[in-house]
A = this chain, B = another copy of it.
Amino acid sequence: MSDAPALKLGDFICFSLYSASHAFTRVYKPLLDRLGLTYPQYLVMVLLWERDGQTVGQIGEQLFLESSTLTPLLKRLEAAGHVRRERNPADERQVLIRLTDTGRGLKDQTVDFFEHLTQAVGMGLEEITELRDNIQRLRSNLNRFAG
C-alpha cells in the first residue's frame, strides 16, 4: 500500500513482501553457498529438475523474469557446468536449456533444504499453504495491472 493518512512504512503490504522476500534469501544463502548457487539460479535449477530442456522464454514466463535478466544468469550456470545452452534446431530463435549430469546431480544435495526451511519458517503446513495461496492471489491481481 502507500501513504494513507496515518500509514507507516511498516504497514505497507508492499514492504512486508519486499522485506520478507529478502529475509528468505538470507535463510537460503548458507544452504545454497554449499552448492555454489545464488537464489535466482536455484529457482532456475528447480524448474529444470521439474522439466528439462526448456527455452529461455518458458523459464522467464514461470519466473516472471526478462531475457535481459536470464541470459547472463544462464551463462553463469553454463560456465559453472550445470546446464548447456543450445539453439533449438526446429526454431533457431529459441535457446534450449538442458541440465548436465552434474546439474542434475545437484538436486540430491538439496534434500535437507526442506527440513531447514520448515524450521526457519516456523509455521504449520496448513498455515503456510493458506498464506502462499493468498500471496499468489495478490500477485495475480498485481500482474493484471502491470502486465
Residues in A lying within 8 Å of B, measured CB to CB: 1-4, 8-29, 39, 43, 46-47, 49-50, 62-64, 107, 110-111, 113-114, 116-123, 127-128, 131-132, 134-139, 141-146
Copies in the complex: 2
Closest approach, in angstroms, between the C-beta of A116 and any C-beta of chain B?
8
A49 touches B114 (CB 8 A): no
In the assembly, what is the distance between CA of A146 and CA of B117, in Å?
Answer: 11
A43 touches B146 (CB 8 A): no
Residue of B nearest to A146 (CB): B26
- List chain B residues, Cβ under 8 A from A117: 1-2, 14
A20 touches B136 (CB 8 A): yes
